Amino acid sequence: MALPSAAADPLNQSTPETTENNLQPFFVLHKASSSKSEKISNGTGRTRRRIDLPPASPKKTDKSEDEKTRERDEHRYHHLRKEAFELVCSKIDSIIKDVLRDVNTSVFNEINRWVCESFNAIKSFRTPGFTEATRSFPIVADATCKKVFTGLVLTRNMEFVDDLLTFEDLGLFLRSHGCHVAKLSSLDFSAKNGIGGCLRGLLRQCLMETVDAADISILASWYREQENHNTPVVVIIEDLERCCGSVLSDFILMLSEWVVKIPVIVLMGVATTLDAPRNLLPSNVLQHLCPSKFTLGSPAERMDAVVEAVLVKECSGFSVSHKVAVFLRNYFVNQDGTLTSFIRALKIACAQHFSMEPLSFILGGLLVEEKQKGEKSGLLPEEILTYTSQLPSYARNQMAELNGKSFVHGFSELKRLHKCWSTAVLCLHEVGKCNKIRLLDLLCEVLDPDLYIARASNNHVALEKDSGVPMAGVHGIRRKYSTSQKGGFICQIVRKVRDLPTVTLKQLLKNWKKISLNFLEINEKVKDLQSMLGFEDGQFKPNVDDISKRHSSWNPLNSEKVSKAISEKAAAFLDWLVREYLRPIECIPLHEIVCFKNVEKLQLALIGDPRRRIQVDLLEFHKILKCSCCSQSGNVLLPSMHDTSIMYTLAQEHGDLINLHDWFQSFKTVVLRPCTKRKHKSKQSPLPKKRKDMHESADKSEASIQLVLGLSTLTIPLSPPCPTSVLLEDP
Amino acid sequence: MGKEESPQVTRRTTRSSSSSTAANNAVEATKACDSHPLTINDLVFGQEPISLDDVLSGFPGRRVQILELVRLLGPANSPMLPLFIYGGASTGKTSIILQIFRHLNRPFVYSSCRMCYSPRILFESILNQLFLHRKNITNGYSSIKRCERPSDFVNFLREALTSVINNLNDNSGTSKTKRAVARTDGNMIYLIFDNLELVRVWDKSSTILPFLFNLHDVLKMPELCLIFVSNSSPDTYYSNMGYMEPIPVHFPDYTEDDLRQLFMRSQTNQKLYSSFLDVVLRPFCRITRRVDELSTAFAALFEKYCEPLGDLEVVPNEQIKRRLFSQLQPHIAASMNEVFKVSSQPSPEGESNKEIKQKGSKRKSGSCEEIDELDFHMSASAKYLLISAFLASRNPATLDASLFDSMGGFDGRKRKRKPSQKSLDHKEAAEQELLMKGPGTFPLERLLAIFQCIASVGEGTIDEEEQGNEGSGVKSGDGGLMSDVLLQLSSLCNANFIIKGGSCPLEGSTRYRSTVSEDMILKTIKTVMWKLLVTWPSTEKILWRKSAKKKIFNAIRRKQEDEVRAEQHYRLRIKRNYNNIEDQMGKIACLQPQHDGGIRPKKKKEGNNGRRHFSELQGRWAR
Amino acid sequence: MGREKVAEEALNLLRSRLCDPSFVFKPLSNSPDSNYSKLKFIISSSVTEACNNSILLLGPRGSGKIAVLELVLKDLLEEYPDMISVIRLSGLLHSDDNCAFKEIARQLCVEHHLLFSKMASFDDNSQFMIAMLRECGLAHKTVVFVLDEFDLFAQGKQRVLYSLLDAMQSVTSQAVVIGVSCRLVCSLLNYKITTECEAVLSWDSDEFNENKLEVLTIDVICRLCFLDADQLLEKRVRSRFSHRKLLFLPPSKGDLQRLLEHILSLPIDSTLPHDYAVEFNAKLQNLSINVSVLIVFMFRSLSNLLLIDHDTRFRAVSYMDLGSGLLSLENFITALSTMERQPKLECIKEYKSIHDAFQTSDYYARNVCFRAFEHLLQRELICFTDNRGHNQSVEFRPVKLLISSHELHQGLKSYRSCPVSCSWKTCYCVHPSMTISSAKGFFFYPYG
């Protein structure tokens, strides 16, 4: 895959081909796959597509004279970038984890409370003695005592990948609150293993030892042996839909007979709707359940939280361009709308950015710098400056002469602007929340440089010169601009502000104040807006009711007018925000350092199809195994080629359907060229030319062996019809 | 099954005071729960025996059966033939037999075939009880003997029984001298097999059932007696080899006044509850007579019934009754019709208003805008896949071609204008037939073809909402759609929306079938409906039966109350709907001028590429 | 009081008698041409002449095959002490050859006071058995193999039978293999029981009819027995098996009466007070005639006559009220009335009560209909025609009705049923296989 940006990169033209450079893509791949592996440990298998596509394989095809020093520098920068990548990636990871935990906490508390309540309810029925509880026969009891308290946790996402982590957390949470927790998945409820399977799983997790004959009476005696047999036993079933209905119903019936002896409380993750248990279980099982439902945050909400934390708020300097943001959004909306895939995409973007962008190690410097204010993490000014001078955005706006100071200044400027931007976005989103506008959509809009330029041109602020796009686009921009004024989210928001009721407006202002705490000018404006609404930070509450009193006392239109005016002001304020601060990252000089723009590569890494890729590799394999013998010869088949690729090309020549015999014949003719060539290929027993004929049979067998080997490898990449039909027609 | 409790309820209070060894065992075990070694006394019920009258009063409407059972069990030390107790679910079989044994205070071994889900576990649980063995941490929760084969089981069982019976004999010998309360009476040992009907389920190589039925003959021990408890009547058990059939005892279903007594039993305020039963019992008895179902239903209803009352001790007079009844009335029908009621957890208001906010913020723009109706997240491609699966399994494959090009759609609409009566009732019959057979299966490639057609339109709806990025965004969009379809399909299968049918014999490919309910699909479609309806008006004609059509039109009407009149005629309504929809589109369009009036040509285009897709896709996916 | 205790004692006695079959069948054994004497002759001949033997006892359940066999063995053991060792196998337990030989080895060890190792392999056990056979042959000890449920041994590869018979032929042993089976007779029995309801209803109670039926049953049984084991056994086994059969038939009415008196009459000389016993027996005498008539009259299906009659006596005895301490005709009648059960009909009542709901109230929610439907499933009035499609939603799986329309109508008649339900239920029976949804369609149909 050719990388236009990488090719355009000044660095790449001057980098020699060193082992580091060859290693680097693999390093990145390794890096990413490590993150992938930990996702796999979360249970998603979704990432397999990426394995055969190195997210960044910069084939730095460039003829260059190698100098020791450059090499060393390369090495150093490479290391710097590696460190930076690790820093940023870990930062992002930790942030995402925190965010997700915060999203779930309220629901978890709710669940915990419910568990305690239902446990008390069970105990209130009856607390059997030891002998009674370990008896085999059921305690003759009221039908209401045979109810299994069941919490249906609605993970409002059809894909349950994200929720695996959630249930993991939930289990830990409950365990920390002193419950026995056993986590069963649908694999335990497979029809193959039957009821024994899930019981075995349950016992294994409770008893911490495996019993050969899984029997629920064991659980009873275990529970009674516990010193603290006044804690509930919580069974978490992750994904209800995937379970085998009959097994699950058996399980529940069994529990319902024993629930007086073992206070089991079941938590089921329901991915789709509440009908799922209804469809899965027969009614005589359903009536043993005493259900109550809990709702996790929808993926959209979590997504907003993550986006806010990672992309909008300045967590790690890393940010994405408009196109990338749009791509991510579509990917989330159209693909499996899982957070996991989104995060994966983000990480890939990050990895690619660091693998491509030579200066990206500065980010790491920034992170460090936030910790201790110090010098610029010992980067060599002159080389940086040379790189920087080639950065398009930097080159575009003719800044003062290049020196470290101006560079540093430009960089801090970049950071400042970005902070402003994020503040503005957050303010907008505050309003958007009451208009149900998702931050992700908003992000797509506020990151759009064209819109910005359009706005700018509207406001006669000449920003075109340092904006990324030439003026030619302005015509198209006009159109979009108008749409953005009508249909765009920003103007929706502004419109929304106009007709906000006073109370929500107050709340809004408070939030704004909170957001813009470290921005004086914004904060000032918010403050006087608030004062206009007539309250200070100190006494908010009294003002509310005095406001309401006023409302009650005053004649309506007067208050009407007041609120109208205020909301007008607020709208004006928003307009001002948008005008002044809503400057997309792409319109800021030096943004290439922090901002990932290359959407094609990201797309390729995420949803490129591996089959075509493999076929391409098969056709030009010499790019991969860099053998000298067959790279120069174009498309003529040499015996020294790789068997599989030979067979593949032959198959291509034959077209869709190929008779195995013909295939073998042609393959043999290729492989058994005059053995001078074959010496290169097969090291074993170079045969003199004259005795070749009597070794024909040996060759034949050898060739057939090779053929079989080739086939065995070939059936994987090729699309099913061809090899199957081939193998069927074996003479 | 067991539900009649009241004798113990009264008794449990007195038990602690009464000095019965077993009860004391239980009590002190609760205090310091260390497992004391099991004695022969642990084979009896454990609590102090109750009189026969208690048993009888405990189970109203079961007098006959109880007396018969007691007779059949006979006096102490009298051998007997195997018993077979059967009757519908929750007719008190298990609890009655247990109570009778409590009354008789004889040793017995209970094993439920639900709990013991395999021969091995069944055998081992019986042996454990007979050998007075208890699984605990010290023996690693292992059972005393490991036996899987019936042959081993018989040997072990004989051994165990002899030991137990000897134990019993000298026990009874001593108990001649001093009778403690919890000493076991007689030297008979009874094996109770509960839920016998389940054996047929888990016993694949149907050998266990005949074995159990013949167990009495196999080991000829007069001291042993087998009691089978089953849901289903004896003549559902006949295998190809007979057996000495056990003595059947049938538990018929409760009659209505049995039920009344049953429910009256454990009530504090008899008057009030009887008045309550006057109201609810009769209608509910029409639906079901199973006590467990009724009791769950009544528990909730009675709370509602008592809500207006201040104190539950009030003796209701006529007008109170009337008032209560009047305000209970609406709930009855509802609770009669619901089988499974999910109560949302009441949460403190801090979370509750947060809940509200979540609910509010669920309503998003973007392609998943009807999340609040669909109330769980499904990616766009999954939605399209679901819809196409629904279409594929509800429509005959022959219709696809006509359905998925726009022309067919249009004259389909024209035809709709003047349908002949015959064609109508023909369609009715077809629908009836469809209803009978349920959703049909379809091969993968058909699904993908339809999906492609729908998605090609749906892409439009997606890229409309994202402002000003046709370029990369959309391309990536449908590229994504195609690349991930199979994953989506698998996850749909996992969510039980689509199920893999058996592979059809002709071509080996597995066939699929969508089981998603109609209103579910309606919700899904609403998120993308406008496009679909505009592009293929014939879609909904073939897609839904009349009822479903009504539903969706109501949905539309809710959207534009002012435009669609309820009393408009059906065909008129369709036509009007197109207007509405197109107005809708117009609205969207005038929000985005670049789409203005772009509906018609767009539709044509999509229709065309829809058809093209369809034809070529069939080709491409056909293997 | 004293009377009570005496009565209780008598009751216990009777119950224990009823519960051991060997006592029940003693009176049948003393006649010269009875199976008892035949069997005894065969075995004793093989004991005395030191030859191998094999015999098949065939007959319906409860016709006392095992009982008679036990009697014979008991007597023989008394006659020839420690010349006979009996190995009992049951097809239910030991049809699999591995555990069959294990069991044989175990019992041989027990018989000859050797110690048996659980760990012994299959070959060890078979070797051990052959060795033991040889030893016994040399010691002129007869080994009697009783194979209960013979037909189960005959299933599959019949390796047990083969190796057993083969061993008998190869070594000079003297052993008797006695197969006990009720194969095909019991399948007939099922047939009888399932058609019991019709039987009770359709047949009126004249002796002729009954006799005809009896004849029919008997020769059916005979035919079955003749084509029984021959068809079952493999050639290699059959060649080694002597086709001697003993046929056990259910007792005739006379026998029944004899049995009745034999079992129920109290012994005069016993712990029981004399006058009580006498009074009891006198009462019994004038009872027994019409009791047996009553029994035969109530139960047409003769093949399982003995079983049911057995239970009946048991119940009757258990109904014996301790107050009078005497058996009365009422006891028997109550016993019989409790005996005749028509489970399906009872189910049908429920069935109907469910479906009244449907056609009276068309507006019930579909999940309630499903619940009713599942009740039907639980009661096994209907079942899914295929058990494959469990992934498919229950709504569209074809079901079939498990009861005949005849039973259905019986149930409805016995229940005070409204004509509507009858009408549509019949139409339900007309389409025995339909999906539940369509059944719902029927519910929602206007009546008729």
Flag whether residue C390 sits within 8 Å of chain B, measured between CB atoms: no
User: CA of B135 to nearest chain A CA: how many angstroms apart?
Assistant: 7
Under a CB-based contact definition with an 8 Å cutoff, are residues A138 and A126 in contact? Answer: no
The answer to whether residue B35 is domain-embedded is no
Q: pLDDT band at A251, cuts 50/70/90?
A: very high
Quick: pLDDT tens for A337-382.
Answer: 678 888 888 888 888 888 877 766 666 666 665 544 444 444 445 5
Q: Does C387 contact chain A (CB < 8 Å)?
A: no
Residue of A nearest to C377 (CA): A282
Measured at the CA of A36, the angle between CA A31 and CA A42, to 5 degrees, comes to 145
**What is the structure's pLDDT at B594?**
36
* Chain A residue nearest residue B93, CA to CA: A140
Condensed to tens digits (0 to 9), the pLDDT of residues A303-314 reads 888 888 888 876
Please tell me whether residues B153 and B231 are part of one structural domain.
Answer: yes
DSSP annotation of A157 reads: B
- A594 vs A91, more confident: A91
- Alpha-carbon distance A244 to nearest alpha carbon in chain C (angstroms): 9
Angle at A628 between CA A622 and CA A629, to 5 degrees: 90
Please check whether residue A272 is in contact with residue A303, taking contact to mean a CB–CB distance below 8 angstroms.
no
Residues B394 and B291 in one domain: no
Question: What mean pLDDT value characterizes chain B?
Answer: 66
- Find, in chain B, the residue whose alpha carbon is nearest to that of A438: B364
Query: Could you tell me the two tokens for B182?
Result: 């919890």
For residues A32 and A297, the model is more confident at A297
Q: Do A295 and B358 touch (CB under 8 A)?
A: yes
Check whether residue B115 and residue B226 sit in a common domain: yes
Q: How far apart are CA A99 and CA A97, in angstroms?
A: 5
Report the candidate in A668, A660, A663 with the shortest Cα–Cα distance to residue A700: A668
| Domain endpoint, select from B317, B339, B361 | B339
pLDDT value for C147: 87
The domain segmentation of chain A, as residue ranges, is 1-49, 126-297, 302-596, 610-727
User: Would you place residue A113 in the very low, low, confident or very high pLDDT band (cuts 50, 70, 90)?
Assistant: very high
Whether A141 and chain B come into contact, CB under 8 Å, resolves to yes
Q: Which CATH architecture has domain C31-184+226-247?
A: 3-Layer(aba) Sandwich (3.40)
Residues 6+ apart with CB under 8 A from B185: B76, B104, B105, B106, B172
Give which of A203, A216, A323, A334 to mutate to test B binding, by max B Cβ within 10 Å. Answer: A334
Which chain A residues touch B375 with a CB distance below 8 Å?
154, 156, 273
- For B333, name the nearest residue in chain C, comparing CA atoms only: C364
C98 reaches B (C-beta below 8 A): no
CATH superfamily placement of domain A126-297: P-loop containing nucleotide triphosphate hydrolases (3.40.50.300)
Q: What's the mean pLDDT in A158-163? A: 78
Query: From C367, which residue of chain A is nearest by alpha-carbon distance?
Result: A283
CB A341 within 8 A of CB A332: yes
Best of C390, C396, C397, C436 to disrupt the A interface (most A CBs within 10 Å) is C390
Q: Are residues B222 and B287 in the same domain?
A: no
- Contact (CB, 8 A) for A283 and A330: no
Query: In this structure, what are the phi and psi dihedrals at residue A52, rounded to the nearest 5 degrees?
Result: -85, 0
Closest by CA to A327, choosing from B475, C8, B503, C410, is B475
Percentage of chain A beyond pLDDT 70 is 61
* CA distance to A163, B292, B378, C360, per residue, from A242 (Å): 14, 29, 17, 38
Optimal mutation site among B340, B514, B519, interface A, most CBs of chain A within 10 A: B340
Which chain C positions have a beta carbon within 8 Å of A245's beta carbon?
390
Check CB contact of A505 with chain B, cutoff 8 Å: no
Residue A194 touches partner C, C-beta closer than 8 Å: no
> What pLDDT does residue C206 have?
38
A27-50 mean pLDDT = 35
Q: Which helix (H) or strand (E) holds B344?
A: strand B343-344
- Amino acid at the residue A616: V
Q: C391 contacts in B (CB within 8 Å)? A: 499-500
Label residue C334 exposed, middle or buried (CB < 10 Å: 0-12, 13-18, 19+). middle
CB distance A295–B26 less than 8 Å?
no
- Averaged pLDDT for residues B383-409: 70
- B120-150, pLDDT tens digit by residue? 999 999 998 888 888 877 787 888 888 888 8
Residue A722 pLDDT level (bands cut at 50, 70, 90): very low
Enumerate residues 6+ apart whose C-beta is below 8 A from A673.
A638, A639
Mean pLDDT within B96-120:
89
d(CA A618, CA C340): 81
pLDDT of residue A234: 93
Put simply, whether A473 touches C (Cβ < 8 Å) is no
User: Chain A 267-286, CB below 8 Å of chain C: which residues?
Assistant: 278-279, 282-284
Interface predicted TM-score (ipTM): 0.75
Give the nearest partner residue to A225 out of B27, B136, B484, using CB atoms.
B136
CB contact under 8 A, C390 and A245: yes
Residue B454 to residue B403: CA distance in whole angstroms: 11
Rounded alpha-carbon distances, angstroms, from residue A47 to A51, A296, B494: 8, 25, 18
Comparison of pLDDT for A681 and A458, the residue scoring more: A458
Instruction: Compare CB distances from B436 to C96, C391, C435 and report the shortest one's residue.
Output: C435
Q: In the structure, what pLDDT confidence band is assigned to residue A29 with cuts at 50, 70 and 90?
A: very low
Contact C69, C178 (CB under 8 A): yes
Mean pLDDT over A638-661 rounds to 72
**For the stretch B39-49, what's the b/e string if a residue is b when 16 or more beta carbons lie within 10 angstroms of its beta carbon?**
ebbbbbbbbbb
| Cβ neighbours of residue A294 closer than 8 Å, sequence gap 6 or more | A107, A110, A111, A114, A151, A152, A153, A154, B345
**Measured between alpha carbons, how far is B86 from B196 in angstroms, rounded to an integer?**
10
User: In chain C, whose CA is at the least distance from the CA of B64?
Assistant: C338
Residues of chain C with pLDDT under 50: 1, 185-229, 296-311, 318-329, 335-365, 385-395, 414-448
Average pLDDT over chain A reads 69
Query: pLDDT for B44-91, tens place per residue?
Result: 777 777 888 888 888 888 888 888 888 778 777 777 778 888 887 788
Task: Out of A158, A213, A326, name the one closest to residue B121 (CB).
Answer: A213
Q: Which of A246, A278, A284 sits opposite C367 (nearest CB)?
A: A278
How many CA within 13 A on the CB side of residue C392?
22
pLDDT of residue B343: 64
Does residue A236 surpass a pLDDT of 90?
yes
Q: Are B106 and B176 in the same domain?
A: yes
* Mean pLDDT to the nearest integer, A164-187: 89
List the structure tokens of A221: 């005696």
Q: Tell me which DSSP letter residue C203 carries.
A: -
Tell me the pTM.
0.74
* Closest approach of A110 to chain C, Cα-based (Å): 30
Distance CA A517, CA A522 (A): 8
Q: A246-249: which pairs have CB atoms within 8 A and are 24 or more residues apart?
A: A246/A191, A246/C390, A247/A189, A247/A190, A247/A191, A247/A193, A247/A194, A247/A195, A247/A197, A247/A198, A248/A189, A248/A280, A248/A281, A249/A281, A249/A282, A249/A285
B neighbour chains, 3+ CB pairs within 8 Å: A, C
Place of tokens 């349920």: B438
Please choose, from the candidates A368, A352, A360, A514, the residue with its C-alpha nearest in 3D space to the C-alpha of residue A427.
Answer: A514
Residue B106 belongs to domain with CATH number: 3.40.50.300
Distance from CA of B233 to the nearest CA of C (A): 6
Q: Could you tell me if C390 lies within 8 Å of chain A, comparing CB atoms?
A: yes
First to last CA, chain C: 64
pLDDT tens for each residue of B468-487? 333 333 333 334 444 567 77
Using CB atoms, which chains have 3+ pairs under 8 A with A?
B, C
Rounded Cα gap, residues A90 and A367, in angstroms: 11
- What is the model's pLDDT at position C345? 43
Chain B, residues 501-520, CB within 8 A of chain A, namely 515, 517, 520
Max avg pLDDT among A193-197, A430-434, C229-233: A193-197
Chain A residues whose beta carbon lies within 8 Å of the beta carbon of residue C394 = 282
Chain B residues with CB-CB distance to A482 below 8 A? 593
Q: What is the mean pLDDT of residues A197-215?
A: 84
Q: What is the pLDDT of residues B191-207, one digit of tens each?
A: 999 988 888 878 776 78
CB C79 within 8 A of CB C89: no
- What is the spatial distance between Cα A188 and Cα A198, in angstroms, rounded to a whole number? 5
Handedness of CA A679, A685, A690, A694 (dihedral sign): negative
Number of Cβ within 10 Å of residue C301's Cβ equals: 20
The beta-strand segments (E) located in B54-139 are 83-87, 108-112
CA–chain centroid gap for B467, Å, is 46
Q: Of residues C431 and B511, which shows the higher confidence score? A: B511
For position B191, what pLDDT does the model report?
Answer: 92
Ranges of beta strands (E only) in A547-684 are 595-596
Strands (E), C297-386: 382-384
Closest Cβ–Cβ partner in C371, C390, C393 for A283: C371
| Residues of chain B neighbouring C307 (CB-CB closer than 8 A) | 244-245
- Find the closest chain A residue to B43 by CA distance: A135
Count how many domains chain B has. 3
**Residues in chain C within 8 Å Cβ distance of A284:** 371, 374, 378
Quote the pLDDT of residue B183.
60
> Are residue B91 and residue B148 in the same domain, yes or no?
yes
Rg (C-alpha) for chain A, rounded Å, is 33
Domain extents for chain C? 2-15+250-339, 31-184+226-247, 186-223, 345-447
Contact criterion met (CB below 8 Å) for A74 and A361: no
**Please, how many CA atoms are within 13 Å of residue B341, restricted to the half-sphere of its CB?**
12
Mutation target to probe the A interface, by most A beta carbons within 10 A, among B39, B371, B491 is B491
- Any domain includes B548: yes
CB contact under 8 A, A283 and C374: yes
Cβ distance of B376 and A483 shorter than 8 Å:
no
Whether B42 is covered by a domain: the verdict is: no
Secondary structure of A413-478 in HEC code, one letter for each residue: HHHHHHHHHHHHHHHHHHHHHHCCCCHHHHHHHHCCHHHHHHHHHHCCCCCHHHCCCCHHHHHHHH
Q: Which domain holds residue B550?
A: 380-621
Residues in B closer than 8 angstroms to A607, CB to CB, are 476, 479-480, 483-484
Q: Who among B89, B250, B293 is closest to C341 (CB)?
A: B250
Decide if B260 is inside a domain. yes
Q: Which alpha helices (DSSP H) does A269-338 contain, by range? A: 275-280, 283-286, 299-307, 322-334
Q: Tell me how many degrees the CA angle A544-A547-A549 measures, rounded to the nearest 5.
A: 110
Q: Which two tokens stand for residue A597?
A: 């723009």
A93 vs A68 pLDDT, higher one: A93
Closest B-chain CA to C7: B75
Best probe of the C interface among B86, B230, B243, by most C CBs < 10 A, is B243
